[in-house]
Amino acid sequence: MKITNVFGYQVLDSRGKPTVAASISLEDGTSHSARVPSGASTGKHEAKELRDHQSHLAEQYYGGNSVYLAIENINSKIAPEIVGLQSDLESVDQRIIDLDPSPDHSLLGANATLAVSLAAAMASAHAKKVSLARSFQPDGNLLLPMPMVNILSGGAHANRTLDIQDVLAIPVGAQSFTEALSWIVAIREAAASMGREAGKITHLVADEGGLGIPFDSMEDACIFVMDAIESVGLNVGIDVALALDVAATQFFENGLYHLRTEGESYSAEDFVDYLNGLVSNLPIISIEDPFAEDDWKSWAAFTSIAPKDLQILGDDLLTTSASRLKTAISERAANAILIKANQNGLVSATHQVLKSAQSQNFATVVSARSGETEDSWLADLATGWRAGQIKVGSTHGSERNAKWNRLLELEATEQTEFSRPF
């Protein structure tokens, strides 16, 4: 089925920040739209989104964050090249690469390229008369991902109430996605009640829906979440385990890791030992970005001594990049990768990074961003790609629940099984 029209336009993400949307129309008269997310905590090696800033198109009310340049690139450069093509994702993505061969999509803007790529993926699924998830896996049980869910948030997402970005819960003992999500909702609400009863600040909800409650240390924050798990009758480490998103690049400066809430600064070597002690003594099964995005030596040192079953997850380190994944494999610097489509800029290239990681026995976690939209395509990608895990944020905010609800829908309407990677 041929593409008859492509149109880009500006919308807002969950933080009220402009982002790019694109719509692709097909010859059967249908239209397929997608909106792209953006991050607050971004790695310097990510694909480059295009914003107006000082350009003649900058909109004063958005402080230069409008995206009219990216939209202009869709409407004047990308659209003429793909109108008339068959609604095939690979063909559309290849034409975009021909227009912008830069590895970071800096010529057209990764927000422009991804919006069109996502719309093409949805149009392609429609042409095949299947869901987006099924378009990537036509046969067999779809694999619903294990959720990693924010309970506490800090860092760039919550006004630095914690030095680290998130303490998350993983419902490792759940037998279905429905059961897993019900456990998480109970834990999150228990944590909010416990915070209020203790007189802590709980009115601050972070960008991704986690609770912005201050703690003096990472250990104290973890113990609080463990207490919340036990308060709803679940067993810590058996039913529900912990994960950390450290986002260490944010507090790495001049060769030191500065934990301001703890009043301590660590050398790289000492921080390796500090985190190893933390994950060895608490029921933490996954740790994301424990070191800065270019501190390869610390990543490798930590991976060599950390508990063998610990998931060591690269986000800022790997930025959904095939070349950085290759380096991590050769350096033995991690064993898992966070997959974010807007770090890459194209759906097909993002999928290829995920497949490459899985071929090297890396765990894969498809992830949302702090600035999200009401779209639910992320849930379909995680499922259709058999990622095994998904990280959306918390269970507050319709931009988060749109993804959870789509996974519930897939479980109810498709032939599925539930991933239990731990």
pLDDT at 169: 98
Give the CATH number, domain containing residue 270.
Answer: 3.20.20.120
- Asked if residue 188 is part of any domain, the answer here is yes
Residues 6+ apart with CB under 8 A from 4: 25, 26, 27, 83
282 with 309, same domain: the answer is yes
Angle (deg, nearest 10), helices 218-231 and 268-281: 20
Taking the model in full, what pTM does it have?
0.95
Hey, is 136 helix, strand or coil? helix
Q: pLDDT averaged over the chain? A: 94
Partners of 244 in the beta sheet? 167, 287
Q: Which one has a higher pLDDT value, 55 or 410? A: 410
Residues 6+ apart with CB under 8 A from 340: 39, 46, 315, 319, 320, 350, 366, 367, 369
107 with 148, same domain: the answer is no
Hey, is 96 helix, strand or coil? helix
- Asked if residue 134 is part of any domain, the answer here is no
- Asked if residue 224 is part of any domain, the answer here is yes
Residue 208 is a catalytic residue: yes
Residue 61 pLDDT class (50, 70, 90 cuts): confident
Tens of pLDDT, residue by residue over 194-207, are: 998 887 765 567 78
How many domains are there within the chain?
A: 2
- Asked if residue 136 is part of any domain, the answer here is no
pLDDT at 159: 61
108 with 26, same domain: the answer is yes
- Asked if residue 43 is part of any domain, the answer here is yes
108 with 238, same domain: the answer is no
- Asked if residue 48 is part of any domain, the answer here is yes
Q: Do the Cβ atoms of 150 and 225 come closer than 8 Å? A: no
> With 90 as the cut, is the pLDDT of residue 155 above it?
no
Handedness of CA 259, 262, 266, 268 (dihedral sign): negative
| C-alpha neighbours within 13 Å on the C-beta side of residue 168 | 26
164 with 291, same domain: the answer is yes
263 with 342, same domain: the answer is yes
Residue 264 is a catalytic residue: no
pLDDT at 160: 61
Q: Which of 340, 372, 399, 403 is catalytic?
A: 340
The residue segments making up the domain with residue 359 are: 142-418
Partners of 252 in the beta sheet? 257
